[in-house]
């Protein structure tokens, strides 16, 4: 009888053991899917690293070429300069007008990005916290605005800038700077993306902190400025950096709105320098201008890259 009881217990435990083994060992189809995911993931990572390597090599090549003479640019395009021509940077900065263009770029981009953040931050916070159907509809409108191509707005913006310049010159101040019109256009173009991005970010932040601030006697304005804005600093940094990069490289509206070549930004000045190459052949100065245009954005990404990644992933980790 004892042996029979042991056999009965072993028989009863057999299905449980088989079930546990089935749960531990993945199915053959699942193993194939996991291997396929690993192969695809490795291929994607390899392509990304290849792309990064190509960009780094291209950037280093541009920097090296900016230190060559015109003869070395064509006779030894992939070699090192025999004697670094730092004069190319001084020529690009002073003779080609990159100094004034850099001032215009910094002023226009700083004013447009700052004004965009001042307008978009409170609007995004309200849209994220108001639990109404109309708030979702407004957020959708901003998302739709992101899909409107800038080229479709060239004529309306040109007419708006022209009318604004005429009105201010003849009726208000007696003068007008086209870069102010450019700032306003940049703000209009940047608001849809910034509001949509910050709305999603504010929604990822916990509401318990606001409730605790309200219990402590803080009003809505104080809660927003003293609690939520510091808490959302990574998202605000991300939006600010992305706007700066986009506006820094913008060329189309500069050529259309700003009539005075001396007031144009770095991308437009670089384009003008390229158009005059058939007369000057200053290829070293042209590559020096490219370095002057690109290097600030590279340094900005090196400083803010971790903050951007943290802001992009915070919503997924909540």
What confidence tier does 38 reach under pLDDT thresholds 50, 70, 90?
A: confident
pLDDT band, residue 285 (cuts 50/70/90): confident
Residue 91: its pLDDT value, please? 86
d(CA 142, CA 166): 30
CA R_g for the chain = 29
The token pair at 276 is 């005059």
Name the most confidently modeled range: 70-79, 158-167, 211-220: 158-167
Residue spans per domain, the chain: 2-65, 88-317
Superfamily covering domain 88-317: MetI-like (1.10.3720.10)
The whole-number pLDDT of residue 162 equals: 93
In this predicted model, what pLDDT tens digit does every residue of 20-31 receive, in sequence order?
Answer: 544 555 555 667
Residues 6+ apart with CB under 8 A from 8: none
Comparing CA positions, the residue from 241, 247, 248 lying closest to residue 311 is 241
The overall average pLDDT reported for the chain is 84
* pLDDT band, very low/low/confident/very high, at 5 (cuts 50, 70, 90): low
């Amino acid at each position: 009888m004892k042996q029979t009881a042991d056999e009965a217990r072993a028989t009863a435990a057999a299905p449980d053991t088989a079930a546990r083994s089935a749960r531990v060992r993945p199915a053959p189809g699942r193993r194939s899917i996991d291997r396929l995911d690993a192969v695809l993931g490795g291929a994607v990572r390899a392509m990304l690293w290849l792309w990064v390597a190509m960009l780094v090599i291209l950037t280093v090549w541009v920097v090296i070429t900016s230190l060559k003479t015109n003869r070395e640019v064509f006779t030894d395009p992939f070699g090192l300069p025999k004697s670094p021509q730092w004069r190319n940077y001084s020529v690009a900065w002073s003779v080609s007008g990159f100094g004034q263009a850099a001032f215009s770029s910094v002023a226009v981009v700083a004013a447009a990005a700052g004004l965009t953040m001042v307008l978009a931050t409170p609007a995004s916070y309200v849209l994220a916290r108001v639990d109404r159907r109309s708030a979702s509809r407004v957020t959708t409108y901003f998302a739709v605005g992101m899909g409107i191509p800038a080229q479709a707005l060239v004529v309306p913006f040109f007419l708006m800038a022209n009318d604004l310049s005429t009105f201010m010159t003849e009726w208000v101040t007696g003068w007008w700077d086209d870069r102010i019109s450019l700032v306003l256009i940049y703000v209009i173009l940047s608001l849809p993306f910034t509001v949509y991005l910050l709305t999603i970010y504010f929604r990822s932040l916990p509401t318990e902190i606001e409730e605790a601030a309200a219990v402590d006697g803080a009003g809505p304005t104080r809660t927003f400025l003293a609690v939520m804005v510091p808490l959302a600093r990574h998202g605000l940094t991300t939006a600010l950096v992305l706007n700066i990069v986009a506006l820094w490289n913008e060329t189309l509206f500069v050529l259309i709105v700003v009539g005075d070549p001396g007031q144009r930004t770095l991308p437009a000045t670089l384009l003008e320098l390229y158009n005059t190459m058939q007369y000057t052949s200053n290829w070293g100065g042209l590559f020096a201008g490219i370095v002057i245009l690109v290097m600030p954005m590279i340094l900005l990404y090196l400083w803010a890259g971790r903050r951007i990644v943290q802001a992009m992933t915070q919503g997924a980790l909540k």
